[in-house]
Amino acid sequence: MEHIVIIGNGISGVTLARHIRKLSDKKITIVSGEADYFFSRTALMYIYMGHMKFEHTQPYENWFWKKNRIELRKAFVKQIDTNSKTLLLADGGNLSYDKLVIATGSKPNKFGWPGQDLEGVMGMYHKQDLENLEIYAPNNKACKRAVIVGGGLIGIELAEMLNSRNVPVTFLVRESSFWNGVLPEGESQIINRHIKNHHIDLRLSTNLKEIVSDENGKVKSIIIEETGEEIPCDVVGLTAGVSPNIDFIKSSTIETGRGVKVNRYLETNIPDVYAIGDCAEQHEAIGNRRPIEAVWYTGRMMGETLAQTICGNRIQYKPGHWFNSAKFLDIEYQTYGWVFSEKSKQDYEQHFHWKHHDDTKCITVAYNKDTNDFLGINTFGIRMRHEIFDKWLTEKRDIDYVMNHLVEANFDPEFYSHYEAEILSTFNNQLQTI
């Protein structure tokens, strides 16, 4: 029986294993060093906030794996020998495979800041980071202030986490406005204000210079690049993005760049070795996507796809229309299709922006100003239907159609106020003035 070994029990590895099991009888082993069972990384924050316990973040009950004959092995892989098709494990054991899938995810970026390895300095990616945070910031007595470096999706989650335990937070963001490399200006500014309304000390256009140690090798303060200001703190969260967790692969014959290089079939340069999820890097970006897509959905889709290939139906990874979602403190965000920020958009991309007067809801619709084609939508504080936008993107609807049918896409709970009429009239007014 063919033995499929998967390194990493995150969403990509587990989705793959589940689908291989549905399609075949192959022997499946998942090796992972972080946790005994698959848990949802995206839910780590809710454990610290007390919404859930760790076991609630595990999407499958513990009996699931045995029942589906998916073997789990808790170990770190130290080395891959592609000649003899064996893995060398950190616990001294080894494991041979017929087909190997690398699904090792990411690790937090560290940009060589002085003091980045001090005690009390941590990323927020692995379960161990959370345990660390529990040690250094159990409450606002042990942690008088925390500084978060890097204004992305994980940074704001960390800020929300600490806020839930009343730990004062200073949030250093390199950009002039929160996440404005991705979000259009109007949206980014709503989030700036929302962060401040939560009493988080948001510092825009601010870089970290160094992290200062106390006499015990624990963080004492940080110093800001621009002003030289020293901010005393007990915890520093490094959330300036993630990069593929592939250091142990560099010594093997498998080709790596920033991530493990794969073709459209998710195959590496070595036969029978594949890579999926956060750690996979496409030779060439697919459409507007980035070569490395560190999002949940990509890991899942790659898992769904690769299962076919491994079970004999070799198919390309061909993701559909882009979608994503996040939550900024209390404001939910969804996106369908492509809406680029002012920094990165093309000339033809035009935006229509509507904001509710309560400053917690807005939408931005992107369209091609030459052809009027609808390109994508960002929504804040209003839920929208994935299915409808996916359909409209496939049908290549124009902006007028989308604006006039927006109500069909609404996904807010029953009895919520509707804003489509207001949005449409704003849209029509703006058009007239152009």
Partner 1 sequence: MSLAKPDAVDISNKQKVALAIGIIGLFILTLALFNTNFPNKGVFLTCALGLISVGTIIYSRDAYLTKLEGIKNDGVWFKSISSRGVWGWVVGVILTAFYIVLYFYPKYLGLGVDGVVNTGLISLFDPLSQLLSGRQASQWFVYGTLYTIAILAFGYKFILKYRHNRYQQIRTISVMFFQLGFAFLIPEFMYVMNNDLPYYDLKSMWPLNYYIFDEWSVNGFLSNGNIGLALILFGLITIFVISPILTYKFGKRWYCSWVCGCGGLAETAGDSFRQLSSKKMSAWKLERWLIHTVLVFSVVMTTAMVYTYLGYDSNDFWLTRGVFIALVIGFLTLVFAGVLFFKGKELGKDVKYGAIGFFVVIALLVIMHLTGTTKHVFYIKAGALRSIYGIYIGSIFSGVIGTGFYPILGNRSWCRFGCPMAAILGFQQRLFSKFRITTNGGQCISCGNCSNSCEMGIDVRHYAQKGENIVRSSCVGCGICAAVCPRGVLKLENDSMKGRINPTEVLLGNDVDLMDLVNQK
Give dist(CA 179, CA 187) in Å, integer.
9
**Beta partners for residue 364, in sequence order:** 353, 378
Q: What is the CA radius of gyration of the chain?
A: 23
Give dist(CA 410, CA 421) in Å, integer.
12
Give dist(CA 354, CA 424) in Å, integer.
9
Question: Which of partner 1, ligand FAD, none lies near 132, with the C-beta cut-off 5 to 8 A by kind?
Answer: none
DSSP strand pairing (242-244 vs 106-108): antiparallel
Which of 6, 18, 32, 273 is the binder for ligand FAD (CB under 6 A)?
A: 32
Please provide the size of the chain in residues.
434
Question: Which of partner 1, ligand FAD, none lies near 134, with the C-beta cut-off 5 to 8 A by kind?
Answer: partner 1
Confirm or reject binding of residue 134 to partner 1 (CB under 8 A): yes
Q: What does the DSSP 8-state code read for residue 117?
A: T
Which residue lies nearer to partner 1 by CB, 83 or 417?
417
**Beta partners for residue 262, in sequence order:** 282
Give dist(CA 344, CA 322) in Å, integer.
16
Give me the helix-helix angle, 11-23 and 296-310, nearest 10°: 30
Find the part of the chain contacting ligand FAD (CB under 6 A) among 52-60, 103-111, 219-227, 370-378: 103-111
Listed in sequence order, the DSSP H helices in 165-281 are 185-197
Q: Which amino acid is at 81?
A: D
Question: Which of partner 1, ligand FAD, none lies near 155, with the C-beta cut-off 5 to 8 A by kind?
Answer: none
Which of 68, 96, 128, 166 is the binder for partner 1 (CB under 8 A)?
A: 166
Which of 78, 165, 174, 218 is the binder for partner 1 (CB under 8 A)?
A: 165
Which residue lies nearer to ligand FAD by CB, 104 or 213?
104
Which residue lies nearer to partner 1 by CB, 22 or 343?
22
Sign of CA pseudo-dihedral 20, 92, 34, 295: negative
Residues 317-329 as b/e (b if ≥16 CB within 10 A, e otherwise) read: beeebbbbbbebb
Question: Which of partner 1, ligand FAD, none lies near 248, with the C-beta cut-off 5 to 8 A by kind?
Answer: ligand FAD
Confirm or reject binding of residue 100 to ligand FAD (CB under 6 A): no
Question: Which of partner 1, ligand FAD, none lies near 426, with the C-beta cut-off 5 to 8 A by kind?
Answer: none
Confirm or reject binding of residue 203 to partner 1 (CB under 8 A): no
Distance of CA 40 to CAs 7, 56, 108, Å? 17, 9, 17
**Binding mask of the shown chain, residues 316 to 355, with x at each position contacting partner 1 by CB under 8 A:** xxxxxx-x-xxx-xx-x-x---------------------
Give dist(CA 419, CA 259) in Å, integer.
43
Tokens 């750690």 belong to 279
Find the part of the chain contacting partner 1 (CB under 8 A) among 182-190, 246-254, 386-394, 418-426: 386-394
**Binding mask of the shown chain, residues 42 to 71, with x at each position contacting ligand FAD by CB under 6 A:** x-xx--------------------------
| Total site size for partner 1, rule CB under 8 A | 63
**Binding mask of the shown chain, residues 281 to 300, with x at each position contacting partner 1 by CB under 8 A:** ---------------xx--x
Contact (CB, 8 A) for 278 and 294? yes
Question: Which of partner 1, ligand FAD, none lies near 390, with the C-beta cut-off 5 to 8 A by kind?
Answer: partner 1
Site for partner 1 in 402-421 (CB under 8 A): 411-417
Contact (CB, 8 A) for 275 and 262? yes
CB half-sphere exposure, 407, CA atoms < 13 A: 10
Confirm or reject binding of residue 132 to ligand FAD (CB under 6 A): no
Question: Which of ligand FAD, partner 1, none lies near 383, with the C-beta cut-off 5 to 8 A by kind?
Answer: partner 1
Q: To the nearest whole angstrom, how small is the minimum distance from the Cβ of residue 327 to ligand FAD?
A: 8
Which residue lies nearer to partner 1 by CB, 58 or 263?
58
Question: Which of partner 1, ligand FAD, none lies near 57, with the C-beta cut-off 5 to 8 A by kind?
Answer: partner 1
Cβ-Cβ contacts under 8 Å for 343 (sequence gap 6 or more): 180, 181
Give dist(CA 177, CA 173) in Å, integer.
8
Strand ranges of the sheet holding 273-275, from the earlier edge strand across to the other edge: 70-74, 27-32, 3-7, 99-102, 273-275
Q: To the nearest whole angstrom, how small is the minimum distance from the Cβ of residue 303 to ligand FAD?
A: 8
Q: Which residues bind partner 1 (CB under 8 A)?
A: 11, 19, 22, 40, 42-43, 46, 49-53, 56-59, 61, 134, 138-140, 164-167, 197-198, 296-297, 300-301, 304-305, 308, 315-321, 323, 325-327, 329-330, 332, 334, 383-387, 390, 394, 411-417
Q: Which residues bind ligand FAD (CB under 6 A)?
A: 7-13, 31-34, 41-42, 44-45, 76-77, 103-106, 124-125, 154, 157, 245, 248, 277-278, 294-297, 299, 326
